[in-house]
């Protein structure tokens, strides 16, 4: 059986995260630069092999000072660890959708994660390219990945929550 390679289309994809700030509101951020691919043995994507990476220096929370802090050694240490990577261990059908399991590496810590994947469908674009879309959601605890910086206000409020909600809307292009 021939394998098919699909490459992430960054022009039609986005990677976002959300974290609680002061426990009362949510701050959102994006990674502007990322790449990924998936390899399939069939057209339904069951058991696809998926690899994905994010460029830490492309983090954008719409606040330059905060972005600088996130890139610093207190958080991602972008100079020493420029990439966040994910490699799948399984991609299985769950009704009309999928469960994605794999190893997420942030800094020098690799942990298994489980993500929910909604299959958006497949279509052919204006240029005859076959595309497939997916919406990926999940949650990780930042401290499990060595992102342990904590700030406490004078009143004792936690500045940054531990749980990070992950959202990715991605489109892949089938390779000839």
Q: What is the CATH number of the domain that holds 9?
A: 2.40.128.110
14 has a pLDDT exceeding 70: yes
Q: Answer for the pair 78, 57: CB distance below 8 angstroms, yes or no.
A: yes
81 has a pLDDT exceeding 90: yes
- Which of 149, 144, 176 is CA-nearest to residue 163? 144
By three-state DSSP, how is residue 17 classified? strand
Report, as an integer, the average pLDDT of 43-68.
91
Distance CA(64)–CA(70), nearest Å, equals 10
Tally of domains in the chain: 1
pLDDT tens, residue by residue, 136-162? 999 988 788 877 656 554 554 445 667
Q: What is the pLDDT of residue 149?
A: 58
Could you list the residue range(s) of the whole structural domain that residue 38 is in?
A: 4-174
Q: Answer for the pair 56, 86: CB distance below 8 angstroms, yes or no.
A: no
88 has a pLDDT exceeding 70: yes
Q: What is the pLDDT of residue 157?
A: 45
Tokens for 121? 């469908």
């Amino acid at each position: 059986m021939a394998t098919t390679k699909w490459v992430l289309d960054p022009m039609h994809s986005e990677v976002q995260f959300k974290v609680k700030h002061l426990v009362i509101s949510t701050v959102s951020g994006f990674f502007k630069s990322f790449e990924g691919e998936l390899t399939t043995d069939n057209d339904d994507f069951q058991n696809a092999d998926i690899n994905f990476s994010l460029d830490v220096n492309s983090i954008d929370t719409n606040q330059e000072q905060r972005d600088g802090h996130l890139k610093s050694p207190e958080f991602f240490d972008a100079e020493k660890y420029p990439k966040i990577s994910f490699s799948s261990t399984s991609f299985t059908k769950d009704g009309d959708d999928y469960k994605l399991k794999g190893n997420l590496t942030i800094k020098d810590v690799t942990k298994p994660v489980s993500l929910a994947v909604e299959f958006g469908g497949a279509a052919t674009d204006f240029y005859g390219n076959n595309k497939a879309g997916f919406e990926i959601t999940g949650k990780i605890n930042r401290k499990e990945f060595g992102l342990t910086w904590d700030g406490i206000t004078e009143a004792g409020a936690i500045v940054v929550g531990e749980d990070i909600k992950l959202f990715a809307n991605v489109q892949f292009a089938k390779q000839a």
